[in-house]
Structure 1
Amino acid sequence: MPSIPLPFVISLFLCLLLVRMIRQGEQKLGLSHLLIAAFAAQAVLSGLNWSVGWHSARFIQPVGAAILPALSFAAFSQLHSNGSSGFKHLLPHLMPAALVALLVAFWRAPIDVVLIAIYLGYGFALLRLARKGPEALSAVRIADEWTAHKALIAMAIMLIATAFIDAIISLDFQFGDGRQAQTVLAISSVLWLAIAGYAATVADRTRPDMQTNVAADDFAAFSPLLAATSTEDDEAIAKRVDSLMLEQNLYRDPDLTLGRLARRSGIPARQISSALNRVYSRNISQIVNEYRVNDAKARLVTTRDPVTTIMLESGFGTKSNFNREFLRVTGMTPTSYRRGGGLISAAAETTSQAGPYPSHKTT
């Protein structure tokens, strides 16, 4: 029975992920889509070279290999910015690939060293972005910051690991027969393409459609308030955010990002994140989810709406996140909370308190 080489299976897997991203996503094609397509194309080249024996692919593979880390950095760096930098932002990062293309054409000897340097450079650059923490991902849904941060770290680690694997393989080709190196190269390249491609897909799902996430009044609110609020203390910032949440019900937006909250409040995102951490001793994701849980608590004891409807109308995007956060805040599941009629009176279930969580009010 004929079998399909593993690289082609990986390419098919990535193509299916890409199709799913395009069909489910509302935003236009962007760097994340291009990144997945590049991973799929590189997997095909790997299969043609190592499984089919089409050695002409060796002239294309190094260029594709140089594009992947640069494209990965450009795509993941967008998570730190609400700006739609798109393909224009990618152009400077194509210079390493252009250099490799010249080396392929005129001087192949240093290609391995250059590729190792490219992967290490972009790998450590992504780690530097990751060191800023999940809350620095201002273009990601607040509820998905940790997921996107893990995908960012996974991509950085894969880039650095690939550089070390390539170095070992290069040494084996120079000082050994290269037989083991070919096997390791084929397997590691396929695994890298699969894991990195999946990480890019996960990160893309955490980024909301910019067209729907950016409202016109967001920008109108930012400039005039920035100067007035940039020197406010932590308590004032917390009260400003609390006022926006309760008066405009921002927490009900499942695509809410820290960047949008910053524009609506007129306060820089990093300042909001730091202030809320100091006031409430919790991260922005937990705080926003507490507003959502308080909203859901009130609905559970005052309405007969289905739990799923309440979940969605309170701002949660997934049932797993809703159940996890509800249990964290109340110590009960939503169903148990409704069955028991709530822990306190229905009048106290509203979100009118001066803070996202009754035990941590601002004073």
Structure 2
Amino acid sequence: MLTIPLPFVIALFLLVLLIRLAGQRNRALVPVMVFMAACTTLVTIVGLRWSFDLRAVRFAQPIVACMLPPLAWVLFSGLMRSRNGWQLLPHALPVVLVAAVLAADTLFAPVPRSSVDLILAASYFGYGLALLRIASAGPDGLVAVRLSESVPANRAAIVSGLILIVSGAVDLLVAGEFLLDRGAYVAPIIAAANLVSLALLAWVVAFLGQALPPSADTDEPADREPAAAGPVAVSTPTASDKDIVAAIDRLIRERQLYRDPELTLNRLARKAVIPTRRISGAVNRVLGQNVSQLVNGYRIEEAKRLLRETDMVVTAVMFESGFQTKSNFNREFLRAVGMSPSDFRRSGSAGAGAGIAPVRE
């Protein structure tokens, strides 16, 4: 019976996902697709090396593996603020170091194989911690994602950071194997690392793919302040904070911005001409919420109004109030109201007396 090695099955799966993303023609997904292409290449290289003992690709494997942590960091940090190409150049250093070690080993004197694994481990550990630092800013830190998806995107950053750290530990194990047993057990260790990489990719695609608006959303207000290293601390609100919250409230209500499912903190800041950090901080201090929770509150109120005053089907109410997925709509509605939208319409909360339309999904 013909069997396909697991790495090639994984590579085929990733390739299908990559093609599907490319078909969306969304520029905001380019970093996701680049990261996915690197993962697909790495899994394919591992399959060629360990399934067919094709050692001609052994130099490419650590180089591609070293690309993943910087690419993951670029992907998430790009959701916080825009950067030009020159600012990204220092993140090529781990790849350059690995390539230099491999070149020295080939052209000059033999270099201990563990040195490459130590560089990989340092890169994975360092960028894993960097992703956790990005996540520490909270959902409002990812200003370029849809507000409705900012919480899942923040969780994706946390999980991705932890997975990179675990991958760094795997590289340390590989280095130890080469030092103690000359790599006798490297193959199963690397196979486990591939599963970790696949898990990382699955999280990035599942959460960030749906969290990004159809077009790149990196333009920022001219007076935008630098992003903070952590979440905005809750403190006594100032008069300026209250003015900002009042201005945001007027803007959202008068222009019904909550009905835009693609609304991001960046877009809200541009429309209000107020830096993202000032909006996030003011909302946090005055209301004790993040901006995503604030906007969802307007959406829930609009959904309640539509359920009371119209006979629109629940799905139509969901879209009209600014939600994109039924699961998110039901979850937020249940959290805010204590019952599902259908139960709300059936109950006395939906309106007084007769005339309430039957629930239609």
What is the count of residue pairs matched by the alignment?
333
In the other structure, the counterpart of 1:188 is 192
Residues 182-219 of structure 1: CA deviation (Å, up to 9, x unaligned)? 2122x2222122111112212232111235x68xxx97
- The two structures, once aligned, show a CA RMSD in angstroms of 2.4
In the other structure, the counterpart of 1:235 is 242
Check conservation: 1:235, 1:279, Cα contact below 8 A. yes
Please state which structure has a larger fraction of its residues in helix.
1
Check conservation: 2:29, 2:209, Cα contact below 8 A. no
- With structure 2 as the length reference, what TM-score do the two structures score? 0.85
Give the Cα–Cα distance (whole angstroms) in 2 for the partners of residues 116 and 225 of structure 1. Answer: 35
Counterparts of residues 93-242 of structure 1 (less than 5 Å): 93-107=91-105, 108-109=111-112, 110-176=115-181, 178-185=183-190, 187-201=191-205, 202-210=207-215, 222=221, 233-242=240-249
Q: Does the C-alpha gap of structure 1 residues 240 and 28 become closer, same or farther in structure 2, counting only changes over 3 Å?
A: closer
Q: What letter corresponds to residue 8 of structure 2 in structure 1?
A: F
Give the Cα–Cα distance (whole angstroms) in 1 for the partners of residues 350 and 102 of structure 2. Answer: 69
Determine what percentage of the aligned residue pairs are the same residue.
40
Q: What letter corresponds to residue 104 of structure 2 in structure 1?
A: F
SS at 1:316's partner residue?
coil
Give the Cα–Cα distance (whole angstroms) in 2 for the partners of residues 100 and 294 of structure 1. Answer: 55
Counterparts of residues 77-88 of structure 1 (less than 5 Å): 77-81=77-81, 83=82, 85=83
Q: Does the C-alpha gap of structure 1 residues 99 and 180 become closer, same or farther in structure 2, counting only changes over 3 Å?
A: closer
1:163 Cα deviation from its structure 2 partner: 1.2
Listed as ranges, the gaps of 5+ residues in structure 1 are 347-363
In the other structure, the counterpart of 1:350 is none
Q: Structure 1 residue 62 and structure 2 residue 62: aligned?
A: yes
Residues 35-93 of structure 1: CA deviation (Å, up to 9, x unaligned)? 00000000000111111110111111111111111111111111112x3x476654432
Q: Does the C-alpha gap of structure 1 residues 90 and 255 become closer, same or farther in structure 2, counting only changes over 3 Å?
A: same
Q: Does the C-alpha gap of structure 1 residues 320 and 193 become closer, same or farther in structure 2, counting only changes over 3 Å?
A: same
Residues 262-301 of structure 1: CA deviation (Å, up to 9, x unaligned)? 1211222122122212222222222111101111111112
- With structure 1 as the length reference, what TM-score do the two structures score? 0.85
Give the Cα–Cα distance (whole angstroms) in 2 for the partners of residues 47 and 252 of structure 1. Answer: 47
1:223 Cα deviation from its structure 2 partner: 5.1
SS at 1:79's partner residue?
coil
Give the Cα–Cα distance (whole angstroms) in 2 for the partners of residues 192 and 41 of structure 1. Answer: 15
Listed as ranges, the gaps of 5+ residues in structure 2 are 106-110, 226-237, 354-361
Residues 95-152 of structure 1: CA deviation (Å, up to 9, x unaligned)? 3212211211113432222222222221111122122122111111111111111111
